[in-house]
Amino acid sequence: MAFLTNFYAFLFYFAAFVILAGLTRKIVQYARTPAPLKIPTTPAPTTRSGVVFRMMREVVLFESLFRGNKWTWIFGWMFHFGLLLVTLRHLRYFMEPVWFPIQLVQPFGIYGGLAMIVGLAGLWARRFLVDRVKYITSTSDHLILGLLVLIGCTGLLMKFVFHVDVVEVKSFFLGLYSFEIEPLPADPLLMLHLFLVALLMIIFPYSKLLHAPGLFFSPTRNQVDNPREQRHIAPWARKLEQ
């Protein structure tokens, strides 16, 4: 048992390091790479605050996807919003005392878990049923969907069927903050659930999951439409001017 607990402790330190370091590296890389030309997809906002509003609509409502494909939007939005609720619900394992808003969100987190699975199932079905989407799907796309579905299902099973000692789980994670390794319940479902979550964290900065930070750096969405008013020039392009 001690071995398993130690293994999972190490796994989560490693996964946390990879996702933090990997994402930081990517975000720094995106931020440092210049966008030499003004390329917002127009009509675009003409002010900074307008751009913030546009980005919020993209991040919260998936506005462009809504315009593009209603089915993908419904399933995609269900999945992401469900995932958000589930993540908020899970925060209780990582804090003591639990913040009041996180207490409030607890019941909604369960619905979130269900919405997540339904959304994922819909997205996955499209990869088989729509010939165009099937054509562009690669093995990794199936694997990431499988990973997320398994994470969701193992989580829901623990909630509704095979209960786990969540108090011990919580003390395990709280212990990790101070490098005190508390025993983890030796439940196969929990082991699988946690292993897959760690795997998800590890692949995050090396896969298409980079769409999360990527969106914020997309020049077609985050640029202000003011090229005539303000001269925009990248450092490497300035060299051409001598």
Between CA 159 and CA 115 the distance in angstroms is: 15
Between CA 97 and CA 179 the distance in angstroms is: 19
Is 76 a binding residue for other proteins by CB under 8 A? The answer is yes
Counting every residue written for the chain, the total comes to 242
Q: Which of 20, 28, 104, 143 binds other proteins (CB under 8 A)?
A: 143
Is 35 a binding residue for other proteins by CB under 8 A? The answer is yes
Is 24 a binding residue for other proteins by CB under 8 A? The answer is no
Q: Min. distance of Cβ 113 from other proteins in angstroms?
A: 21
Q: List CB contacts of 40: < 8 A, sequence separation 6 or more.
A: 219, 220, 221, 222, 223, 224, 225
Q: Which of 4, 14, 34, 183 binds other proteins (CB under 8 A)?
A: 34
Tell me the two tokens of residue 54. 């546009």
Which residue number, 173 or 204, has a Cβ lying nearer to other proteins? 204
Cβ atoms of 8 and 184 closer than 8 Å = yes
Q: Min. distance of Cβ 184 from other proteins in angstroms?
A: 29
Between CA 111 and CA 81 the distance in angstroms is: 10
Which residue number, 109 or 152, has a Cβ lying nearer to other proteins? 152
Cβ atoms of 82 and 116 closer than 8 Å = yes
Which residue number, 132 or 161, has a Cβ lying nearer to other proteins? 132
Q: Min. distance of Cβ 158 from other proteins in angstroms?
A: 28
Q: Min. distance of Cβ 139 from other proteins in angstroms?
A: 5
Q: List CB contacts of 231: < 8 A, sequence separation 6 or more.
A: none
* Binding-site ranges for other proteins (CB under 8 A): 26, 29-30, 33-39, 41-46, 58, 62, 64-65, 67-69, 72, 76, 123, 126, 130-133, 135-141, 143, 203, 206-208, 210-211, 214-215, 217-221, 225, 227-234, 236-237, 240
